[in-house]
Structure 1
Amino acid sequence: MSEQEQRLGGRALVADDHPLTREGLSLAARAALPGVSVVAVGTVGEASEAAARGPFRMILLDFHLPDANGFSGLLTLQMHAPRTPVVLVTASEEPSLVEAARALGAAGYLFKSLPLDALAERLRRIDAGQTAFPPINGAAPQLGDLRARIETLSPAQRGVLIALADGRSNKQLARDLDVTEATIKAHMTAIFRKLGVTNRAQAMLAVQPLLGAAPR
Protein backbone atom coordinates (compact mmCIF):
# COMPACT_ATOMS: atom_id res chain seq x y z
CA MET A 1 0.00 0.00 0.00
CA SER A 2 1.38 3.41 -0.94
CA GLU A 3 1.89 6.22 1.57
CA GLN A 4 -0.88 8.20 -0.10
CA GLU A 5 -3.28 5.27 0.21
CA GLN A 6 -2.36 4.90 3.87
CA ARG A 7 -3.30 8.56 4.43
CA LEU A 8 -6.81 7.97 3.10
CA GLY A 9 -9.64 6.79 5.33
CA GLY A 10 -9.02 5.90 8.93
CA ARG A 11 -10.80 7.39 11.92
CA ALA A 12 -10.85 10.81 13.56
CA LEU A 13 -11.82 11.37 17.18
CA VAL A 14 -13.80 14.48 18.15
CA ALA A 15 -14.12 15.24 21.87
CA ASP A 16 -16.45 18.12 22.76
CA ASP A 17 -19.26 18.33 25.32
CA HIS A 18 -21.56 20.47 23.15
CA PRO A 19 -23.53 18.41 20.57
CA LEU A 20 -23.71 21.18 17.98
CA THR A 21 -19.99 21.87 18.22
CA ARG A 22 -19.26 18.14 18.00
CA GLU A 23 -21.26 18.00 14.79
CA GLY A 24 -19.48 21.04 13.35
CA LEU A 25 -16.04 19.62 14.16
CA SER A 26 -17.07 16.28 12.69
CA LEU A 27 -18.07 18.03 9.46
CA ALA A 28 -14.72 19.85 9.37
CA ALA A 29 -12.85 16.57 9.90
CA ARG A 30 -14.75 14.83 7.11
CA ALA A 31 -14.13 17.77 4.78
CA ALA A 32 -10.41 17.82 5.54
CA LEU A 33 -9.56 14.12 5.74
CA PRO A 34 -10.55 12.03 2.69
CA GLY A 35 -12.60 8.95 3.60
CA VAL A 36 -12.32 9.43 7.35
CA SER A 37 -14.97 8.15 9.75
CA VAL A 38 -15.60 10.16 12.90
CA VAL A 39 -16.01 8.96 16.48
CA ALA A 40 -17.59 11.72 18.61
CA VAL A 41 -17.49 11.79 22.44
CA GLY A 42 -18.14 14.32 25.19
CA THR A 43 -15.43 13.74 27.82
CA VAL A 44 -11.72 13.05 28.16
CA GLY A 45 -12.54 9.72 29.77
CA GLU A 46 -14.59 8.62 26.76
CA ALA A 47 -11.87 9.86 24.42
CA SER A 48 -9.22 7.89 26.32
CA GLU A 49 -11.30 4.72 26.12
CA ALA A 50 -11.79 5.22 22.38
CA ALA A 51 -8.07 5.85 21.85
CA ALA A 52 -7.22 2.66 23.75
CA ARG A 53 -9.41 0.60 21.41
CA GLY A 54 -7.60 1.47 18.21
CA PRO A 55 -5.60 4.03 16.23
CA PHE A 56 -6.89 7.40 15.07
CA ARG A 57 -5.66 9.55 12.23
CA MET A 58 -6.29 12.73 14.23
CA ILE A 59 -7.87 13.82 17.53
CA LEU A 60 -9.80 17.09 17.86
CA LEU A 61 -10.06 18.03 21.53
CA ASP A 62 -12.08 20.76 23.22
CA PHE A 63 -9.90 22.54 25.78
CA HIS A 64 -12.80 22.92 28.25
CA LEU A 65 -14.21 19.46 28.91
CA PRO A 66 -16.00 18.68 32.19
CA ASP A 67 -13.38 16.16 33.32
CA ALA A 68 -10.33 18.19 32.28
CA ASN A 69 -8.20 20.62 34.27
CA GLY A 70 -6.26 22.97 32.05
CA PHE A 71 -4.20 20.89 29.65
CA SER A 72 -4.85 17.60 31.44
CA GLY A 73 -7.01 16.38 28.54
CA LEU A 74 -4.20 16.95 26.06
CA LEU A 75 -1.65 15.21 28.26
CA THR A 76 -3.96 12.27 28.89
CA LEU A 77 -4.65 11.67 25.20
CA GLN A 78 -0.98 12.06 24.33
CA MET A 79 -0.31 9.24 26.79
CA HIS A 80 -2.96 6.97 25.25
CA ALA A 81 -2.21 7.89 21.62
CA PRO A 82 1.39 9.12 21.49
CA ARG A 83 1.66 8.92 17.68
CA THR A 84 -1.65 10.64 16.91
CA PRO A 85 -1.76 14.42 16.30
CA VAL A 86 -3.96 16.07 18.92
CA VAL A 87 -5.54 19.39 17.94
CA LEU A 88 -6.98 21.69 20.60
CA VAL A 89 -10.16 23.47 19.52
CA THR A 90 -11.32 26.21 21.86
CA ALA A 91 -12.97 29.58 22.34
CA SER A 92 -10.05 30.69 24.55
CA GLU A 93 -7.76 32.95 22.52
CA GLU A 94 -5.21 33.91 25.22
CA PRO A 95 -1.66 33.99 23.78
CA SER A 96 -0.30 32.19 26.85
CA LEU A 97 -2.57 29.22 26.16
CA VAL A 98 -1.46 29.07 22.53
CA GLU A 99 2.19 29.01 23.61
CA ALA A 100 1.49 26.43 26.32
CA ALA A 101 -0.29 24.15 23.83
CA ARG A 102 2.70 24.38 21.51
CA ALA A 103 5.04 23.64 24.43
CA LEU A 104 3.09 20.52 25.33
CA GLY A 105 3.27 19.12 21.81
CA ALA A 106 -0.21 19.80 20.48
CA ALA A 107 -0.43 19.58 16.69
CA GLY A 108 -2.55 22.72 16.53
CA TYR A 109 -4.60 25.28 18.43
CA LEU A 110 -7.74 26.29 16.56
CA PHE A 111 -10.39 28.83 17.55
CA LYS A 112 -14.02 27.75 17.48
CA SER A 113 -14.83 31.07 15.84
CA LEU A 114 -13.14 29.94 12.60
CA PRO A 115 -15.46 29.20 9.64
CA LEU A 116 -15.84 25.56 8.64
CA ASP A 117 -13.68 25.89 5.53
CA ALA A 118 -10.89 27.56 7.53
CA LEU A 119 -10.99 24.78 10.12
CA ALA A 120 -10.82 22.17 7.36
CA GLU A 121 -7.87 23.92 5.70
CA ARG A 122 -5.88 23.87 8.95
CA LEU A 123 -6.76 20.23 9.60
CA ARG A 124 -5.45 19.35 6.14
CA ARG A 125 -2.16 21.04 7.01
CA ILE A 126 -1.90 19.08 10.23
CA ASP A 127 -2.74 15.83 8.43
CA ALA A 128 0.15 16.58 6.07
CA GLY A 129 2.54 16.69 9.04
CA GLN A 130 2.55 20.44 9.70
CA THR A 131 1.28 22.32 12.76
CA ALA A 132 -1.41 25.01 12.91
CA PHE A 133 -1.16 27.74 15.54
CA PRO A 134 -2.48 31.31 15.39
CA PRO A 135 0.03 34.18 15.37
CA ILE A 136 1.00 35.14 18.91
CA ASN A 137 1.15 38.81 19.86
CA GLY A 138 2.92 39.31 23.14
CA ALA A 139 3.48 35.63 23.88
CA ALA A 140 4.61 34.82 27.41
CA PRO A 141 8.43 34.56 27.24
CA GLN A 142 8.58 32.87 30.66
CA LEU A 143 7.22 29.70 29.07
CA GLY A 144 10.31 29.27 26.91
CA ASP A 145 12.46 27.34 29.39
CA LEU A 146 9.48 25.40 30.71
CA ARG A 147 8.55 24.45 27.15
CA ALA A 148 12.00 23.00 26.57
CA ARG A 149 11.83 21.00 29.79
CA ILE A 150 8.32 19.68 29.14
CA GLU A 151 9.37 18.51 25.67
CA THR A 152 11.96 16.21 27.25
CA LEU A 153 9.25 14.25 29.13
CA SER A 154 8.01 10.99 27.67
CA PRO A 155 4.24 10.53 27.21
CA ALA A 156 4.16 8.28 30.29
CA GLN A 157 6.01 10.90 32.35
CA ARG A 158 3.56 13.55 31.20
CA GLY A 159 0.73 11.31 32.33
CA VAL A 160 2.24 10.98 35.79
CA LEU A 161 2.86 14.72 35.94
CA ILE A 162 -0.75 15.62 35.26
CA ALA A 163 -1.96 12.95 37.70
CA LEU A 164 0.21 14.52 40.39
CA ALA A 165 -1.88 17.69 40.15
CA ASP A 166 -4.76 15.86 41.86
CA GLY A 167 -2.65 15.20 44.94
CA ARG A 168 -2.86 11.41 44.63
CA SER A 169 -0.41 9.15 46.48
CA ASN A 170 2.06 6.90 44.69
CA LYS A 171 -0.19 3.93 45.44
CA GLN A 172 -3.21 5.71 43.96
CA LEU A 173 -1.22 6.79 40.90
CA ALA A 174 0.00 3.23 40.35
CA ARG A 175 -3.54 1.86 40.57
CA ASP A 176 -5.09 4.55 38.36
CA LEU A 177 -2.37 4.29 35.70
CA ASP A 178 -2.17 0.48 35.96
CA VAL A 179 1.55 0.34 36.71
CA THR A 180 3.65 -0.58 39.76
CA GLU A 181 4.61 1.86 42.50
CA ALA A 182 8.24 1.30 41.51
CA THR A 183 7.38 2.53 38.00
CA ILE A 184 5.68 5.63 39.43
CA LYS A 185 8.73 6.39 41.58
CA ALA A 186 11.02 5.98 38.58
CA HIS A 187 8.86 8.33 36.50
CA MET A 188 8.78 10.90 39.30
CA THR A 189 12.55 10.80 39.70
CA ALA A 190 12.92 11.44 35.96
CA ILE A 191 10.30 14.21 36.04
CA PHE A 192 11.98 16.00 38.93
CA ARG A 193 15.37 15.79 37.22
CA LYS A 194 14.07 17.10 33.90
CA LEU A 195 12.12 19.94 35.50
CA GLY A 196 15.04 20.87 37.75
CA VAL A 197 13.10 20.36 40.99
CA THR A 198 13.40 18.04 43.99
CA ASN A 199 9.84 17.29 45.13
CA ARG A 200 6.16 17.22 44.16
CA ALA A 201 5.35 20.71 45.43
CA GLN A 202 8.15 22.26 43.39
CA ALA A 203 7.09 20.29 40.32
CA MET A 204 3.50 21.53 40.58
CA LEU A 205 4.66 25.10 41.07
CA ALA A 206 6.97 24.85 38.06
CA VAL A 207 4.30 23.65 35.66
CA GLN A 208 1.32 25.60 37.02
CA PRO A 209 1.20 27.86 33.91
CA LEU A 210 0.56 24.74 31.83
CA LEU A 211 -1.69 22.75 34.15
CA GLY A 212 -3.84 25.52 35.54
CA ALA A 213 -7.33 25.83 34.09
CA ALA A 214 -8.07 28.90 32.02
CA PRO A 215 -11.33 30.82 32.48
CA ARG A 216 -14.23 29.76 30.30
Structure 2
Amino acid sequence: MTLQILIADDHDMVRETIAMFLDADGDTQTQAACNLQEALTKIAEDGPFDLVLLDYTMPGMKGLDGLKRVIEANGGKPVGLISGTATRLIAEQALEMGAIGFLPKTLPAKSLVNAVRFMAAGEIYAPVNFMSGKDNPEETDFEKSLSDRERQVLRRLMSAKSNKEIARDLELQEVTIKLHVKTLCRKLEAKNRTDAAMIARDAGFI
Protein backbone atom coordinates (compact mmCIF):
# COMPACT_ATOMS: atom_id res chain seq x y z
CA MET A 1 0.00 0.00 0.00
CA THR A 2 1.35 3.42 -0.97
CA LEU A 3 1.48 5.96 1.85
CA GLN A 4 0.14 9.42 1.04
CA ILE A 5 2.25 12.02 2.85
CA LEU A 6 1.97 15.82 2.91
CA ILE A 7 5.17 17.75 3.68
CA ALA A 8 4.42 21.32 4.75
CA ASP A 9 7.53 23.49 5.09
CA ASP A 10 8.42 26.94 3.78
CA HIS A 11 11.97 25.93 2.79
CA ASP A 12 12.05 24.40 -0.70
CA MET A 13 15.24 22.49 0.04
CA VAL A 14 13.83 20.89 3.21
CA ARG A 15 10.65 19.79 1.41
CA GLU A 16 12.54 18.47 -1.59
CA THR A 17 15.13 16.63 0.49
CA ILE A 18 12.52 14.88 2.65
CA ALA A 19 10.38 14.06 -0.42
CA MET A 20 13.39 12.69 -2.31
CA PHE A 21 14.32 10.27 0.47
CA LEU A 22 10.72 9.19 1.05
CA ASP A 23 9.84 8.77 -2.63
CA ALA A 24 13.03 6.77 -3.28
CA ASP A 25 11.68 3.60 -1.67
CA GLY A 26 8.56 3.55 -3.85
CA ASP A 27 6.23 3.03 -0.86
CA THR A 28 5.26 6.67 -0.49
CA GLN A 29 3.73 9.46 -2.54
CA THR A 30 4.41 12.96 -1.27
CA GLN A 31 2.72 16.29 -1.80
CA ALA A 32 4.12 19.63 -0.68
CA ALA A 33 2.79 22.84 0.88
CA CYS A 34 4.74 25.96 1.82
CA ASN A 35 2.42 27.49 4.44
CA LEU A 36 -0.39 26.49 6.78
CA GLN A 37 -3.22 27.66 4.51
CA GLU A 38 -1.90 25.68 1.57
CA ALA A 39 -1.57 22.61 3.80
CA LEU A 40 -5.18 22.96 4.99
CA THR A 41 -6.38 23.41 1.40
CA LYS A 42 -4.54 20.25 0.24
CA ILE A 43 -5.96 18.26 3.16
CA ALA A 44 -9.48 19.46 2.27
CA GLU A 45 -9.01 18.61 -1.42
CA ASP A 46 -6.84 15.47 -1.35
CA GLY A 47 -6.88 14.30 2.27
CA PRO A 48 -6.97 12.97 4.76
CA PHE A 49 -3.29 12.02 4.34
CA ASP A 50 -1.70 8.97 5.98
CA LEU A 51 0.73 11.44 7.54
CA VAL A 52 1.16 15.23 7.53
CA LEU A 53 4.58 16.66 8.44
CA LEU A 54 4.30 20.27 9.61
CA ASP A 55 7.13 22.76 9.99
CA TYR A 56 6.75 24.52 13.34
CA THR A 57 7.85 27.96 12.09
CA MET A 58 6.35 28.21 8.58
CA PRO A 59 3.94 31.08 7.73
CA GLY A 60 0.50 30.83 9.31
CA MET A 61 1.42 28.34 12.03
CA LYS A 62 1.25 30.73 15.04
CA GLY A 63 3.12 28.21 17.13
CA LEU A 64 1.15 25.12 18.08
CA ASP A 65 -2.16 26.68 17.01
CA GLY A 66 -1.45 25.53 13.44
CA LEU A 67 -0.73 22.01 14.64
CA LYS A 68 -4.11 21.88 16.39
CA ARG A 69 -5.93 23.01 13.22
CA VAL A 70 -4.20 20.44 11.04
CA ILE A 71 -4.85 17.60 13.52
CA GLU A 72 -8.56 18.49 13.36
CA ALA A 73 -8.50 18.82 9.54
CA ASN A 74 -6.71 15.51 8.88
CA GLY A 75 -9.60 13.46 10.26
CA GLY A 76 -7.82 11.57 13.00
CA LYS A 77 -4.88 10.48 10.83
CA PRO A 78 -1.32 11.18 12.09
CA VAL A 79 0.23 14.66 12.09
CA GLY A 80 3.89 15.14 13.04
CA LEU A 81 5.91 18.29 13.74
CA ILE A 82 9.28 19.03 12.14
CA SER A 83 11.56 21.84 13.25
CA GLY A 84 15.12 23.09 13.29
CA THR A 85 14.50 25.48 16.18
CA ALA A 86 11.79 24.08 18.49
CA THR A 87 12.79 23.23 22.05
CA ARG A 88 12.15 20.04 23.96
CA LEU A 89 9.29 21.77 25.78
CA ILE A 90 7.56 22.59 22.47
CA ALA A 91 8.04 18.99 21.33
CA GLU A 92 6.47 17.73 24.57
CA GLN A 93 3.51 20.13 24.21
CA ALA A 94 3.01 19.02 20.59
CA LEU A 95 2.87 15.35 21.66
CA GLU A 96 0.43 16.21 24.46
CA MET A 97 -1.81 17.97 21.90
CA GLY A 98 -1.99 14.83 19.82
CA ALA A 99 0.98 15.07 17.43
CA ILE A 100 2.17 11.61 16.39
CA GLY A 101 5.79 12.66 16.62
CA PHE A 102 8.51 15.28 16.52
CA LEU A 103 11.36 15.34 14.00
CA PRO A 104 14.36 17.65 14.47
CA LYS A 105 15.62 18.75 11.05
CA THR A 106 19.09 17.57 12.09
CA LEU A 107 17.93 13.94 11.96
CA PRO A 108 19.99 11.82 9.52
CA ALA A 109 18.06 10.86 6.38
CA LYS A 110 17.82 7.15 7.16
CA SER A 111 16.45 7.86 10.65
CA LEU A 112 14.00 10.34 9.16
CA VAL A 113 12.59 7.79 6.69
CA ASN A 114 12.24 5.21 9.47
CA ALA A 115 10.55 7.78 11.72
CA VAL A 116 8.06 8.64 8.98
CA ARG A 117 7.18 4.95 8.57
CA PHE A 118 6.65 4.63 12.33
CA MET A 119 4.38 7.67 12.43
CA ALA A 120 2.38 6.67 9.36
CA ALA A 121 1.75 3.33 11.09
CA GLY A 122 0.36 5.20 14.11
CA GLU A 123 3.45 4.85 16.31
CA ILE A 124 4.55 7.89 18.32
CA TYR A 125 8.09 8.98 17.41
CA ALA A 126 10.40 11.36 19.27
CA PRO A 127 14.21 11.03 19.33
CA VAL A 128 15.20 9.83 22.80
CA ASN A 129 18.38 11.93 22.94
CA PHE A 130 16.50 15.10 21.96
CA MET A 131 13.63 14.52 24.40
CA SER A 132 15.95 13.67 27.29
CA GLY A 133 18.27 16.59 26.59
CA LYS A 134 21.17 14.16 26.24
CA ASP A 135 22.20 15.03 22.72
CA ASN A 136 25.90 14.41 22.61
CA PRO A 137 27.67 17.79 22.63
CA GLU A 138 31.00 16.28 21.58
CA GLU A 139 32.31 17.02 18.13
CA THR A 140 31.71 14.43 15.45
CA ASP A 141 34.40 13.46 12.95
CA PHE A 142 32.38 15.39 10.38
CA GLU A 143 32.64 18.60 12.44
CA LYS A 144 36.32 18.13 13.26
CA SER A 145 37.16 18.39 9.58
CA LEU A 146 35.68 21.90 9.37
CA SER A 147 36.94 25.24 10.64
CA ASP A 148 34.64 27.44 12.76
CA ARG A 149 34.06 29.73 9.78
CA GLU A 150 33.27 26.79 7.48
CA ARG A 151 30.72 25.55 10.00
CA GLN A 152 29.09 29.01 10.10
CA VAL A 153 28.85 29.07 6.31
CA LEU A 154 27.58 25.48 6.13
CA ARG A 155 24.79 26.15 8.64
CA ARG A 156 23.60 28.99 6.42
CA LEU A 157 23.81 26.83 3.30
CA MET A 158 21.52 24.40 5.11
CA SER A 159 19.05 27.28 5.54
CA ALA A 160 19.21 27.84 1.77
CA LYS A 161 20.79 31.30 2.12
CA SER A 162 22.54 32.93 -0.83
CA ASN A 163 26.22 33.95 -0.77
CA LYS A 164 25.11 37.56 -0.44
CA GLU A 165 22.94 36.79 2.60
CA ILE A 166 25.69 34.72 4.21
CA ALA A 167 28.21 37.51 3.62
CA ARG A 168 25.85 39.97 5.30
CA ASP A 169 25.23 37.62 8.25
CA LEU A 170 28.93 37.02 8.86
CA GLU A 171 30.09 40.55 7.90
CA LEU A 172 32.41 39.21 5.21
CA GLN A 173 32.95 39.91 1.53
CA GLU A 174 30.82 37.87 -0.89
CA VAL A 175 33.98 36.68 -2.67
CA THR A 176 35.21 35.22 0.66
CA ILE A 177 31.96 33.29 1.07
CA LYS A 178 32.31 31.92 -2.49
CA LEU A 179 35.76 30.65 -1.52
CA HIS A 180 34.41 28.99 1.64
CA VAL A 181 31.58 27.34 -0.32
CA LYS A 182 34.13 26.02 -2.85
CA THR A 183 36.32 24.65 -0.04
CA LEU A 184 33.31 23.06 1.68
CA CYS A 185 32.24 21.34 -1.54
CA ARG A 186 35.76 19.96 -1.96
CA LYS A 187 36.03 18.77 1.65
CA LEU A 188 32.59 17.15 1.62
CA GLU A 189 33.01 15.81 -1.93
CA ALA A 190 29.79 17.61 -2.81
CA LYS A 191 28.70 18.41 -6.36
CA ASN A 192 27.30 21.82 -5.38
CA ARG A 193 26.05 23.89 -2.42
CA THR A 194 22.71 22.02 -2.23
CA ASP A 195 24.53 18.70 -2.20
CA ALA A 196 26.84 20.02 0.57
CA ALA A 197 23.82 20.99 2.66
CA MET A 198 22.25 17.53 2.16
CA ILE A 199 25.51 15.77 3.10
CA ALA A 200 25.71 17.90 6.25
CA ARG A 201 22.09 17.12 7.16
CA ASP A 202 22.68 13.37 6.64
CA ALA A 203 25.69 13.60 8.95
CA GLY A 204 23.50 15.09 11.68
CA PHE A 205 25.35 18.43 11.53
CA ILE A 206 23.49 21.16 13.42
| TM-score range normalised by the length of the shorter chain | 0.5 to 0.7
Give the equivalent residue in structure 2 for 1:49.
Answer: 41
Q: Which residue of 1 aligns with 2:156?
A: none
Distance 1:98 1:71 in 2: 10
Higher relative contact order, chain-length normalized (CA < 8 Å, sep 6+): 1
Kindly report which structure 2 residues correspond to 1:29-108, keeping only aligned pairs within 5 A, or say none.
29-31=22-24, 34-55=26-47, 56-108=49-101
Residues 19-53 of structure 1, C-alpha deviation per residue, up to 9 Å, x if partnerless? 00010121243257x53221111000000000001
Structure 2 CA distance, aligned partners of 1:112 and 1:85?
19
| Aligned counterpart, 1:137 | 132
**2:15 aligned with 1:22, yes or no?**
yes
- The question of whether the paired residues in 1 share the 8 Å contact of 2:56 and 2:86 is answered with no
| 1:109 maps onto 2:93 in alignment | no
SS of residue in 2 equivalent to 1:106: coil
- Using the alignment, how far apart are the partners of 1:59 and 1:17 within structure 2? 14
Normalised to the residue count of structure 2, the TM-score between the two structures is: 0.59
User: What's the counterpart of residue 170 of structure 1?
Assistant: none
The one-letter code sitting in structure 2 at the alignment partner of 1:30 is: D
Structure 2 runs not aligned, ≥5 long: 134-206
The 4+ residue runs of structure 1 with deviation greater than 4 A are none
Q: Normalising by structure 1, what TM-score? A: 0.56
Cα distance in 1, alignment partners of residues 102 and 21 from structure 2: 15
Q: CA RMSD in A?
A: 1.7
Query: What's the secondary structure of 2:76's corresponding residue?
Result: coil
Once the two structures are aligned, what percentage of the paired residues are identical? 29
Q: Which consecutive unaligned segments of at least 5 residues does structure 1 have?
A: 1-7, 139-216
Amino acid at match of 2:115: R
Give the Å deviation of 1:129: 2.0
Given candidates 111, 126, 138, the residue that maps to 2:119 is 126
Q: Is the 8 A contact 1:107 1:131 kept in 2?
A: yes
Alignment partners' CA distance in 2, 1:128 and 1:67: 28
**For the residues of structure 1 that align with 2:37 and 2:46, how far apart are their CA atoms?**
15
Aligned to 2:2: 9
Query: Is the Cα–Cα contact under 8 Å of residues 44 and 65 in structure 1 kept in the other structure?
Result: yes
Q: CA 1:36–1:93 in structure 2 vs 1: closer, same or farther (change >3 Å)? A: same
For residues 36 and 28 of structure 1, what CA distance do their matches in structure 2 show? 10
Q: Aligned partners of 1:61, 1:29: CA distance in 2, in Å? A: 15
C-alpha contact 1:16 1:61 (8 A) present in aligned 2:
yes
Indicate if the aligned counterparts of 1:98 and 1:134 stay in contact, CA closer than 8 A. no
Structure 2: distance between partners of 1:113 and 1:52: 30
Q: Deviations over 1:74-115 (max 9, x none)?
A: 111112113221111101252211110111100110000111
Q: Quick one: distance in 2 between partners of 1:65 and 1:93?
A: 12
